[in-house]
Structure 1
Amino acid sequence: MITPVIRPRRLRSTPALRRLASETRLHPADLVLPMFIREGTTEPLPIRSMPGVVQHSIDSARRAAADAAAAGIGGVMLFGVPEKRDAIGSGATDPDGILNVGTRALVAEVGDALVVQTDLCLDEFTDHGHCGVLSVDGSVDNDTTLERYREMALVQAASGSKLLGLSGMMDGQVAAVRDALDRSGFVDTVVLAYSAKYASAFYGPFRDAVESTLEGDRRSYQLDPANRREGVREAQLDIDEGADIVMVKPAGSYLDVLADVAAMSSVPVWAYQVSGEYAMIEAAAANGWIDRKRAVAESILSIRRAGADAVLTYWAVELATWLNERDAR
Structure 2
Amino acid sequence: MPEGRIVKALSGFYYVDNGEQVIQCRARGLFKKKDARVTPLVGDWVVYDTVSEAEGYVMEVGERTTELVRPPVANVDAAVLVFSMRTPSFSSALLDKFLVHTETAGIEAVIALSKADLADQAELDEICQKYRQIGYRVIPTSTQDKRGLEEIRQALASHIAVFAGQSGVGKSSLINALFPHARLQTGQVSHKLGRGRHTTRHVELIPLEKGSYVADTPGFSSLDFVDLTELDLAQAFREFNSYADECKFRGCLHLREPGCAVQAAVENELIDAERYEHYKQFAEELKEYQRRNKPW
TM-score (norm 2): 0.32
Structure with higher helix content:
1
Task: Considering Cα pairs closer than 8 Å and 6+ residues apart, tell me whether 1 or 2 has the greater RCO.
Answer: 1
